[in-house]
Chain A
Amino acid sequence: MSKMGATRDGYGEALLQLASNPKVVVLEADLGKSTKSLHFRKAHPERTVSCGIGEQNMLLVGAGLAASGFIPFASTFAIFTERAFEQMRNGVARPNLPVHVCGSHGGTHTGTDGSSAQSIEDLAIYRTLPNVIVMHPSDTVSTRELTIQLAASSSPSYTRTARNKTPVLYEGREEEIKIGKGIKLREGSDVAIIACGVMVSQSLKAAEALEAEGIRATVVDMHTLKPLDADLINELVSTCGALVTAEDHNIIGGLGGAVAEHVVSNTFAPLERIGVHDRFGESGQADEMLDVMRISTPYIVAAAKRAIARKP
């Protein structure tokens, strides 16, 4: 079995590593144990600001800190960052202040907490905000590396992490990880599966299943949804000629939406989108949820075949 880890732990590790920069400040809204900012709080209580259960306040405290030259990292569940969406829009994105928001427990993979905690719209809404970097990394190592890189960014950001464990993919491959650059994890010329977050490992399994049937698939970890790696998508259109996107997120407006928007305005290739079919989640184990939402490996395999069949 490959090594497993939850991406929220990668976030926690990154904050600890960033602590040597005295400008880095951590903001919490009573979910530090869950988002993993608690390690930073323990080591650096003087640079940790507890905002209580008050997400709207937290976002704008971050804006004030950023405008004064600090580098604030604020985290709560993905869903509860959304409560402060307008603060993010008007108070953070509009003045382009580098506040870094991390939403943990993203997607239906969150599991038995149920629909109120399973954000399926976060990637879509933050993608519509000018200036904001939007990321959803797939493993602990890439989450750590991308979070560390954010500290040098002059733009605000939203990063979704996941509650539950997925395979570790990038141990020893840290230098491949760059904000805005998708990563090819596997190459094949029949179809390209573009995935983010917990769906990257599902897509790798799908590619293996396809290979057993003689179908060769490229798998891309598109950890950054915005800015989207347009060069890579253009390349996949010409090398594979058929695309699948896979995300634990509403089919509307997330990674599938971003790739579709790019493809219709540039070089064309048939695209099949795997995502939550415009419904809310429910309580269930993480893996069960991927089946209930019809986004687990078999659905990716079927989508790949549909995309190939649609090649002109």
Chain B
Amino acid sequence: MKGHQRRHKIAGDTMASVEELEEVARRCRVHIVNMVHRAQAGHPGGSLSEIDLLAALYKTQLRIRPDEPKWDDRDRFILSKGHASPGMYAILAEMGFITVEDLKSYRVLGGICQGHVDMKWCPGVDFSAGSLGMGLSFGMGSAIAGRLENSDRQVYVMLGDGEIQEGSVWEAAMAAAHHELGNLNVILDRNRIQNDDFCETQMRMFDIPAKWRSFGWNVKEIDGHDMNEILDGLNFLSTSNEGPSILIAHTVKGNGISYMADNPAFHGAAPNDEQYRQAMIELGEVNA
């Protein structure tokens, strides 16, 4: 358990340049659109808003072993907003946990890519999600386990902005600060849209950074689609170890596809064939 040199591959590191990360994220966007189009169901919006963050997190931060997904001392990534599973499956395929062929099993009977990410079905998934507001508590348990085992492994939990309306999130937030869990990190996908509509009409949350600060968290805000800012933000998470930390990533739901961007209709709807063609043009997969 001990003896690992923690490596922080931050901006400028040759391991993954900003351009390379942007290309990984672009390929993931193609996977995401392919998955929801083939299934004619699923959640593109929140997958496209989170994907730049996931690409950078997986490629530059997470200490994981794609060929040994259950390695005891791995960093944990918990996708609490489990409906945004196409995004996670896409990066798992890019990392080699699963194959690009596996992505075709999204929402298909017997497929490892279940509608919501599920640790019983898919290698590399550490939490069975689908019910919002559960991942932070699970992450807290994982962080305490790491501490009890004297491991420096990190726990990352991705929350949605609609999701933080759940009371249980704040039970966990309070408890994590009480227990001074410096190894617990949240990335908040602040895309301003939830299921029915914009958060502003469903439930105003007022000053979100102030709320987390008042709960005892270290807080940093970034543009969740600017790779340089993302790398800065991830560096903030891995270096601020006095108590839990949250990176509030300002994102655009449906980012990367013009007609999905900032459009509540694409929270949980698939593109039709015509829209699919347009998406592939916009992502540079085919010529207009």
Flag if B165 contacts A114 (CB, 8 Å).
Answer: no
Q: What sequence of 0s and 1s flags, for each residue 105-120 of chain B, a beta carbon within 8 Å of any chain A beta carbon?
A: 0011111001110100
Flag if B116 contacts A113 (CB, 8 Å).
Answer: yes
Q: How far is the CB of B199 from chain A (nearest CB, A)?
A: 8
In the bound complex, CA of A150 to CA of B100 (Å): 50
CB within 8 Å of B: which residues of A? Answer: 28, 30-34, 38, 50-54, 56-57, 79-80, 83, 112-117, 282-285, 288, 292
Can you name 25 A-B residue pairings with CB atoms under 8 Å? Answer: A30-B194, A30-B195, A30-B202, A32-B196, A33-B195, A34-B195, A50-B201, A50-B202, A52-B203, A54-B166, A54-B203, A57-B167, A80-B131, A112-B108, A113-B116, A113-B130, A114-B130, A115-B114, A115-B118, A116-B128, A117-B115, A117-B130, A282-B109, A283-B109, A283-B115
Which of chain A's residues have a CB closer than 8 A to the CB of B201? 50
In the bound complex, CA of A82 to CA of B202 (Å): 21
Q: How far is the CB of A57 from chain B (nearest CB, A)?
A: 7
Flag if A38 contacts B196 (CB, 8 Å).
Answer: yes
Q: What sequence of 0s and 1s flags, for each residue 182-199 of chain B, a beta carbon within 8 Å of any chain A beta carbon?
A: 000000000000111000
Which of chain B's residues have a CB closer than 8 A to the CB of A115? 114, 118, 130
Query: In chain A, what residue has the closest Cβ to B132?
Result: A53
Interface presence of B56 (CB below 8 A): no
Flag if A114 contacts B114 (CB, 8 Å).
Answer: yes
Which of chain B's residues have a CB closer than 8 A to the CB of A28? 196
* Among A50, A113, A283: residue with most chain B CB under 10 A: A283
* Among B110, B111, B115, B194: residue with most chain A CB under 10 A: B115
Flag if A56 contacts B167 (CB, 8 Å).
Answer: yes
Q: How far is the CB of B259 from chain A (nearest CB, A)?
A: 19
Known contacts A33-B195, A114-B116; A52/B202 CB under 8 A: yes
In the bound complex, CA of A220 to CA of B8 (Å): 65
CB within 8 Å of A: which residues of B? Answer: 39, 41-42, 82, 107-111, 114-116, 118, 121, 128-133, 162-163, 165-167, 194-196, 201-203
In the bound complex, CA of A28 to CA of B196 (Å): 10
Flag if B115 contacts A54 (CB, 8 Å).
Answer: no
In the bound complex, CA of A282 to CA of B116 (Å): 10
Q: B116: which of A30, A33, A56, A117 is its contact (CB, 8 Å)? A: A117
In the bound complex, CA of A168 to CA of B121 (Å): 36
Query: In chain B, what residue has the closest Cβ to A38?
Result: B196
Q: How far is the CB of A190 from chain B (nearest CB, A)?
A: 35
Q: How far is the CB of B46 from chain A (nearest CB, A)?
A: 13
In the bound complex, CA of A53 to CA of B131 (Å): 11
Which of chain B's residues have a CB closer than 8 A to the CB of A288? 109
Which of chain B's residues have a CB closer than 8 A to the CB of A38? 196
Q: B203: which of A50, A56, A113 is its contact (CB, 8 Å)? A: A50
Flag if A31 contacts B195 (CB, 8 Å).
Answer: yes
Which of chain A's residues have a CB closer than 8 A to the CB of B39? 112
Query: In chain B, what residue has the closest Cβ to A28?
Result: B196
Which of chain B's residues have a CB closer than 8 A to the CB of A57? 167
Flag if B111 contacts A51 (CB, 8 Å).
Answer: no
Q: How far is the CB of B76 from chain A (nearest CB, A)?
A: 19
Flag if A112 contacts B41 (CB, 8 Å).
Answer: yes
For the A-B complex with A112-B39, A116-B131, A283-B115 known, give 10 more contacts whose Cβ atoms are closer than 8 Å.
Answer: A32-B196, A52-B202, A54-B203, A112-B107, A113-B115, A114-B130, A116-B115, A116-B118, A282-B114, A284-B108
Which of chain A's residues have a CB closer than 8 A to the CB of B116? 113-114, 116-117
In the bound complex, CA of A117 to CA of B110 (Å): 16
Q: How far is the CB of B262 from chain A (nearest CB, A)?
A: 17
Known contacts A50-B201, A50-B203, A52-B203; A285/B109 CB under 8 A: yes
Which of chain B's residues have a CB closer than 8 A to the CB of A53? 132-133, 162-163, 165-166, 194-195, 202-203
Which of chain A's residues have a CB closer than 8 A to the CB of B111? 283
* Among A56, A284, A285: residue with most chain B CB under 10 A: A284
In the bound complex, CA of A280 to CA of B108 (Å): 16
In the bound complex, CA of A288 to CA of B107 (Å): 12
Query: In chain B, what residue has the closest Cβ to A77?
Result: B131
Query: In chain B, what residue has the closest Cβ to A55?
Result: B166
Which of chain B's residues have a CB closer than 8 A to the CB of A117? 115-116, 130
* Among B42, B133, B201: residue with most chain A CB under 10 A: B133
In the bound complex, CA of A288 to CA of B82 (Å): 23
In the bound complex, CA of A230 to CA of B244 (Å): 57
In the bound complex, CA of A113 to CA of B83 (Å): 8
Q: A283: which of B114, B131, B132, B165 is its contact (CB, 8 Å)? A: B114
Q: How far is the CB of B236 from chain A (nearest CB, A)?
A: 27
Flag if B167 contacts A54 (CB, 8 Å).
Answer: yes
